[in-house]
Amino acid sequence: MSSLHKSRIADFQDVLKEPSIALEKLRELSFSGIPCEGGLRCLCWKILLNYLPLERASWTSILAKQRELYAQFLREMIIQPGIAKANMGVSREDVTFEDHPLNPNPDSRWNTYFKDNEVLLQIDKDVRRLCPDISFFQRATEYPCLLILDPQNEFETLRKRVEQTTLKSQTVARNRSGVTNMSSPHKNSAPSSLNEYEVLPNGCEAHWEVVERILFIYAKLNPGIAYVQGMNEIVGPLYYTFATDPNSEWKEHAEADTFFCFTNLMAEIRDNFIKSLDDSQCGITYKMEKVYSTLKDKDVELYLKLQEQNIKPQFFAFRWLTLLLSQEFLLPDVIRIWDSLFADDNRFDFLLLVCCAMLMLIREQLLEGDFTVNMRLLQDYPITDVCQILQKAKELQDSK
């Protein structure tokens, strides 16, 4: 470890040990990258994402309160409905009209259950492919959720819901004549894709299952947006960072802490996921156009070249902005970019500058390339040095 790196760690420790955290100083330090040693990044992200207040004295009570609140969410939205489902219609006399699966009332428990299943299956499909370049999410967590895995609890877990719903959809199919074909479930036991993560044995749960639970709870608590594909790419780096905290006391509560940090982050970017807001001033279309207007201001030649080739920002910047660049770089680089994003007071204005910097750093290739070559460049970004990108974005910010 270099003396410079040791000095940076000491600077962070000095700021974080104060009774009242100096937020501007923490932001200034974090913008240039947060060391992972000693759990510094995990702690800084929790402060920068407004999960922990600036007053250190209140941390213990707030964390205890929030973690208990998350446990209550698990009881109310997974365990209790799971118990109710397990007990529904045990015998024919138990089935009232209100509880019948064919009850058309949109407020019936069964209707809610079926709608939740649709959301759950989409989440399940997405989290089984999270960060495929690393094995972390397929591995078992050291701290499985005891509330969920308690063998004394006889209820339908999310894992069972997915298995049963998938089984039903796989084993009963209709051909084009409307005839029902029954296939053997044993022939469909393999995962639908070799790229999907397998379920671990009973008593264990993989990290992707924890992420699935976080997203399901979020969807239940936020019915207006529920779950939109891509949210898994936002929660993934957060959970990975907290679940690899060297401090086991913090790591044990990675699930709850991730949930609240993800919720706070989504409060800032959720408009990107709401299609009806796309063309509003807070929507994703406005932000994509802002990338191009910034580029026009900073590099008009490159801007005109992209316009001439009819390369619209929707072709690449939609993914860059909506997923906070989580699909453009390897996970360690994404985390480094997020250090700077979370640290910046106007973090998502800075994201626009990062996207503009990414274009300007490959300007020569873009100016020389045709439409096909340039689309390939933009959809498979060639520069891997994220510090270079962040430095360029900072230069653009300072030149305003």
Q: What is the pLDDT of residues 56-100, one digit of tens each?
A: 999 999 999 999 999 999 999 988 876 766 665 443 344 444 554
Q: What's the pLDDT at 195?
A: 56
Reported as a pLDDT band with limits 50, 70 and 90, residue 280 is confident
Distance CA 351, CA 334 (A): 12
**Lowest-pLDDT choice from 218-232, 273-287, 297-311:** 273-287
Reported as a pLDDT band with limits 50, 70 and 90, residue 194 is very low
Q: Bigger pLDDT: 255 or 282?
A: 255
Q: Bigger pLDDT: 151 or 5?
A: 5
Q: Bigger pLDDT: 54 or 345?
A: 54
**Lowest-pLDDT choice from 63-72, 187-196, 389-398:** 187-196
Q: What's the pLDDT at 122?
A: 94
List the alpha helices (DSSP H) in 75-139.
Answer: 80-87, 109-127
**Mean pLDDT for the chain?**
85
Q: Bigger pLDDT: 165 or 120?
A: 120
Q: Bigger pLDDT: 279 or 175?
A: 279
Q: Please say whether the beta carbons of 342 and 30 come within 8 A.
A: yes
Q: Indicate if the pLDDT at residue 25 is higher than 80.
A: yes
Q: Indicate if the pLDDT at residue 173 is higher than 70.
A: no
Element (H, E) at 172: strand 172-174
Q: Per DSSP, what are the bridge partners of residue 182?
A: 172
Helix (H, G, I), strand (E, B) or coil at 229: coil
Q: Bigger pLDDT: 165 or 148?
A: 148
* pTM of the model as a whole: 0.86
CATH class assigned to 273-397 = mainly alpha
- What residue type is assigned to position 172 of the chain? V
Element (H, E) at 180: strand 180-182
Domain with CATH 1.10.472.80 in the chain: 273-397
The pair of structure tokens assigned to 150 is 């308690």
User: Among positive and negative, which fits the CA dihedral 264, 44, 322, 396?
Assistant: positive
**Lowest-pLDDT choice from 20-34, 71-85, 216-230, 293-307:** 71-85
Q: Indicate if the pLDDT at residue 276 is higher than 80.
A: no
Q: What's the pLDDT at 229?
A: 92
Distance CA 128, CA 206 (A): 10
Q: What's the pLDDT at 107?
A: 57
Determine whether 344 is exposed, middle or buried from the number of CB atoms within 10 Å of its CB (0-12, 13-18, 19+).
Answer: buried
Element (H, E) at 267: helix 254-269
Which is nearest to 234 in space by CA: 319, 154, 172? Answer: 319
Q: What's the pLDDT at 182?
A: 30
Element (H, E) at 182: strand 180-182
Q: What's the pLDDT at 236?
A: 97
Q: How far is CA 391 from CA 85, 107, 231, 347, in A?
A: 54, 53, 27, 15
Q: Indicate if the pLDDT at residue 139 is higher than 50.
A: yes
Distance CA 137, CA 144 (A): 13
Which is nearest to 128 in space by CA: 216, 189, 193, 78? Answer: 193
309-334: average pLDDT: 95
Helix (H, G, I), strand (E, B) or coil at 381: coil
User: Among positive and negative, which fits the CA dihedral 117, 85, 192, 231?
Assistant: positive
Neighbours of 179 (CB within 10 A): 8
